[in-house]
Amino acid sequence: NISYLFHSGSRSSKTFKPKKNIPEGSHQYELLKHAEATLGSGNLRMAVMLPEGEDLNEWVAVNTVDFFNQINMLYGTITDFCTEESCPVMSAGPKYEYHWADGTNIKKPIKCSAPKYIDYLMTWVQDQLDDETLFPSKIGVPFPKNFMSVAKTILKRLFRVYAHIYHQHFDPVIQLQEEAHLNTSFKHFIFFVQEFNLIDRRELAPLQELIEKLTSKDR
């Protein structure tokens, strides 16, 4: 069932940040269409595999943009519940707290509320995705040598938004009937990062039990 990709309930079409569009007619657009078609088959392990003859960087780039858009939409559905008052720190349960630093504007990690942190994080990701030297959208423009390390950092940070939603805002997710949508999106994300070894296991610790539960049925 592929409907989760195009899910637009009454509230859930509210995107937190502008959606990042992959230009129609481009090779990356074809890759995105391929990803959506294989997702439709319901086999997520197959869906994340690198299509034959394709460039790994390009496959990672297309999927990273897609996950940004999905998380953007999922977080957009619960922004009313994620406030300075409800979430004065950016956490994923009592054991995990995140402080923001991007290495350029904010070098020393700062403690901030979850909505502020996620705003910093999504703005930072958006800036990376919009940087043509990092994420070239034109055919024949090569990916930079550091592309994979940038992609890994992006995915590591996007994971934290999933972790925060699951730990702090799962009740509204259920009330909004977004649970299946969130689980499918997260499962797709996890299969993808596992397939290409993109996120360190330690980083995934806040959702380890859930990851085991979601992935055990598909070994």
Q: What is the pLDDT of residues 24-83, one digit of tens each?
A: 888 888 888 888 887 776 788 888 999 999 999 999 999 999 999 999 999 999 999 999
Residue pLDDT, tens place only, 161-178:
999 999 999 999 999 999
CB 39 within 8 A of CB 188: yes
Ligand-binding site membership of 188 (annotated): no
**How confident is the model over 90-95, as a mean pLDDT?**
94
pTM > 0.75: yes
Q: Which two tokens stand for residue 193?
A: 């990062």
Tell me how many degrees the CA angle 139-129-100 measures, rounded to the nearest 5.
Answer: 160
The reply to whether 99 sits in an annotated binding site is no
DSSP string, 152-173: HHHHHHHHHHHHHHHHHSHHHH
User: What number does CATH give the domain 57-216?
Assistant: 1.20.140.30
CB atoms within 10 A of CB 84: 11
Nearest to 160 by CA among 115, 214, 203: 203
Report residue 218's pLDDT band, with 50, 70 and 90 as the boundaries.
low
Q: Which amino acid is at 122?
A: M
